[in-house]
């Protein structure tokens, strides 16, 4: 059994600890032992990884993943979702509770955690439902959920339309110091809509979802947040208006954080093209001005994390008329390449890109990892930043193939993923211990 690993001549990017430069990294017994500017001697039993030209960065953490188990194992399971995660460089994922038995109890939380232990690939952090059965009527037992291991509360997939209930959960969650994560969509404004309301929806003759469906709910929840002194995390921010409100609330010291999904900073509503259901998601792809605003917010710190909203669906869910197409795309295996596109375009620095994928999400949900200080868990992603590859959905480790990025050439790929000092993915292959 190998107990140490030495990464040689890596470009180590560790935003929290202010490191960006060529270093050797020594891992011993599952933890980072040393990050050194000087060349380190290899211990006798060590595996030596020549990381010349590569980035060695804190393992990525995805705050927003749908693993579909229990209930929709044909789309994804905890195991296949973890495979997709480590193939995408993620060493930790937060599992959304809108499974087909909703995670609103310790029983379901424990089931997800036990499947994750069996998979033994990456960390899985369940999120528990805000309301029982996601019905928006009655609060679930937050204490029980957090006690069982939930790291956040969310009804993701649905908004909490009842403002009084939202106010109560913001208050209640402060007892457990977990964030309340919100899918912002005023259903009375989005009703009947299939895509962003704009020139493209008019051309295609589709009912639109106005930006206000999101922005009005963000405004409401910031008002409630200020009153309750709670902790709010806004999922998949898609509009300029939301960004402006969150930026202003942060300036005033409110405890609000937010995430943006790669598809929202990469594509605008024109990607719907000719009724392409692979461009259908909630919130929808927005206007060009919104994409610009999201990119600015990624740069200036308004956005805390890039999260994929990995949403696996079967072929039959997408091979239907646009209006009937189900929302969502898979994202774990394309997130790095799409994020690095912003680096190659000069929008983000490498350091900021790494921060948005690792340190930022760890901080937002208070998760371990996200940095490489000596003593921290050796959750490490090795990136080949200039390597070009073409997305082939048929080769995804995810059980689902629903992506608008099939055939797109991306620059930058994950060459190794290490979790707790164990290599779980290398050169396109999984290293499963099972
Ligand atoms: Zn959502």
pLDDT digits (tens, 9 = 90+) for 372-383: 999 999 999 999
| 427 is an annotated ligand-binding site residue | no
Q: How many CB atoms lie within 10 A of CB 392?
A: 11
CA of 71 to the centre of ligand 1 (A): 18
How far apart, in whole angstroms, are the C-alpha atoms of residue 185 and residue 215? Answer: 8
φ and ψ at residue 310, rounded to 5 degrees: -50, 110
How far apart, in whole angstroms, are the C-alpha atoms of residue 328 and residue 403? Answer: 9
How far apart, in whole angstroms, are the C-alpha atoms of residue 213 and residue 186? Answer: 5
| 406 is an annotated ligand-binding site residue | no
pTM exceeds cut of 0.75: yes
How far apart, in whole angstroms, are the C-alpha atoms of residue 358 and residue 103? Answer: 25
Q: What is the pLDDT of residue 1?
A: 55
Q: Is the pLDDT of residue 432 over 90?
A: no
Beta-bridged to residue 47, according to DSSP, are: 5
Q: What is the pLDDT of residue 433?
A: 74
Q: 350-357 vs 335-344: helix axis angle to the nearest 10? A: 160
CA of 364 to the centre of ligand 1 (A): 17
φ and ψ at residue 173, rounded to 5 degrees: -65, -20
How far apart, in whole angstroms, are the C-alpha atoms of residue 421 and residue 26? Answer: 10
| 264 is an annotated ligand-binding site residue | no
One-character DSSP codes across 7-62 = EEEEEEEEGGGTEEEEEEEEEETTEEEEEESSPPPPPTT-EEEE-TT-EEEEPEEE
Q: What is the pLDDT of residue 32?
A: 98
| 236 is an annotated ligand-binding site residue | yes
Q: What mean pLDDT value characterizes the chain?
A: 97
CA of 158 to the centre of ligand 1 (A): 7
Q: Is the pLDDT of residue 102 over 90?
A: yes
pLDDT digits (tens, 9 = 90+) for 211-260: 999 999 999 999 999 999 999 999 999 999 999 999 999 999 999 999 99
Enumerate the H helices of 277-388 as residue ranges.
288-300, 315-318, 335-344, 350-357, 359-365
CA of 261 to the centre of ligand 1 (A): 10
CA of 215 to the centre of ligand 1 (A): 14
Q: What is the pLDDT of residue 247?
A: 98
Q: Is the pLDDT of residue 434 over 70?
A: no
Q: Which two tokens stand for residue 315?
A: 């072929």
φ and ψ at residue 298, rounded to 5 degrees: -65, -40
| 26 is an annotated ligand-binding site residue | no
How far apart, in whole angstroms, are the C-alpha atoms of residue 139 and residue 151? Answer: 16
Q: How many CB atoms lie within 10 A of CB 253?
A: 8
Are 213 and 186 a contacting pair, CB within 8 Å?
yes
pLDDT digits (tens, 9 = 90+) for 298-336: 999 999 999 999 999 998 888 999 999 999 999 999 999
Q: What is the dihedral of CA 226, 227, 229, 235, to 10 degrees?
A: -50
For the chain, give me the number of helices (H) and strands (E)? 14, 19
Residue carrying the six token digits 């940095």: 371
End-to-end CA gap in the chain: 15
| 313 is an annotated ligand-binding site residue | yes
Q: Which two tokens stand for residue 100?
A: 């087909």
How far apart, in whole angstroms, are the C-alpha atoms of residue 278 and residue 313? Answer: 10
| 402 is an annotated ligand-binding site residue | no
pLDDT digits (tens, 9 = 90+) for 262-299: 999 999 999 999 899 999 999 999 999 999 999 999 99
How far apart, in whole angstroms, are the C-alpha atoms of residue 381 and residue 423? Answer: 10
Q: Which two tokens stand for residue 323?
A: 């209006």
Residue 268 is a catalytic residue: no
How far apart, in whole angstroms, are the C-alpha atoms of residue 11 and residue 385? Answer: 11
Question: How many CA atoms lie less than 13 Å away from 302 in the CB half-sphere?
Answer: 23
Q: Which two tokens stand for residue 163?
A: 């403002």
CA of 235 to the centre of ligand 1 (A): 6
Among 269, 304, 309, 379, the one annotated catalytic = 309
CA of 228 to the centre of ligand 1 (A): 23
Average pLDDT over residues 341-352: 98
Beta-bridged to residue 340, according to DSSP, are: none
Residues with CB under 5 A from ligand 1 (ion): 156, 183
């Amino acid at each position: 059994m190998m107990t140490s690993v030495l990464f040689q001549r890596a470009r180590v990017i560790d935003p929290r600890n202010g490191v960006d430069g060529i270093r050797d990294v020594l891992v011993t017994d599952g933890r980072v032992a040393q990050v050194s500017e000087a060349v380190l001697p290899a211990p006798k039993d060590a595996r030596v990884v020549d990381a010349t030209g590569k980035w060695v960065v804190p393992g990525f953490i995805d705050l927003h993943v749908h693993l579909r188990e229990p209930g929709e194992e044909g789309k994804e399971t905890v195991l296949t979702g973890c495979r997709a995660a480590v193939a995408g460089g993620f060493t930790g994922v937060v599992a959304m509770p809108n499974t087909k038995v909703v995670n609103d109890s310790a029983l379901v939380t424990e089931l997800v955690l036990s499947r994750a232990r069996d998979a033994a690939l990456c960390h899985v952090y369940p999120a528990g439902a805000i309301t029982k059965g996601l019905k928006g009527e009655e609060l679930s037992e937050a204490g029980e959920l957090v006690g069982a291991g939930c790291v956040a509360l969310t009804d993701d997939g649905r908004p909490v339309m009842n403002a009084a209930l939202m106010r109560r959960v913001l208050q209640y969650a402060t007892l457990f110091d977990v964030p309340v994560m919100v899918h912002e969509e005023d259903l009375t404004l989005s009703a009947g809509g299939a895509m962003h309301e704009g020139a493209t929806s008019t051309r295609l003759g589709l009912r639109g979802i106005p930006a206000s469906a999101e922005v009005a709910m963000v405004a409401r929840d910031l008002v409630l947040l200020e009153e309750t002194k709670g902790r709010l995390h806004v999922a998949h921010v898609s509009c300029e208006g939301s960004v402006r409100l969150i930026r202003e609330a942060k300036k005033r010291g409110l405890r609000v954080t937010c995430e943006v999904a790669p598809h929202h900073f990469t594509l605008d509503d024109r990607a719907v093209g000719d009724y392409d259901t692979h461009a259908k998601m909630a919130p929808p792809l927005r206007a060009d001005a919104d994409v610009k605003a999201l990119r600015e917010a990624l740069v200036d710190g308004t956005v805390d994390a890039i999260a994929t909203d990995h949403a696996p669906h079967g072929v039959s869910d997408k091979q239907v008329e646009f209006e009937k197409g189900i929302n969502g795309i898979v994202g774990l295996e394309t997130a790095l390449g799409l994020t690095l596109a912003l680096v190659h375009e000069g929008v983000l620095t490498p350091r900021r890109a790494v921060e948005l994928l690792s340190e930022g999400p760890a901080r937002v949900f208070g998760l371990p990892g996200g940095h490489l200080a000596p003593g921290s868990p050796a959750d490490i992603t090795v990136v080949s930043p200039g390597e070009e590859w073409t997305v082939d959905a048929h080769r995804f480790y995810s059980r689902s193939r629903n992506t608008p990025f099939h055939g797109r050439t991306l620059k930058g790929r994950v060459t190794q993923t290490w979790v707790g000092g164990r290599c779980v993915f290398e050169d396109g292959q999984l290293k499963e211990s099972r």
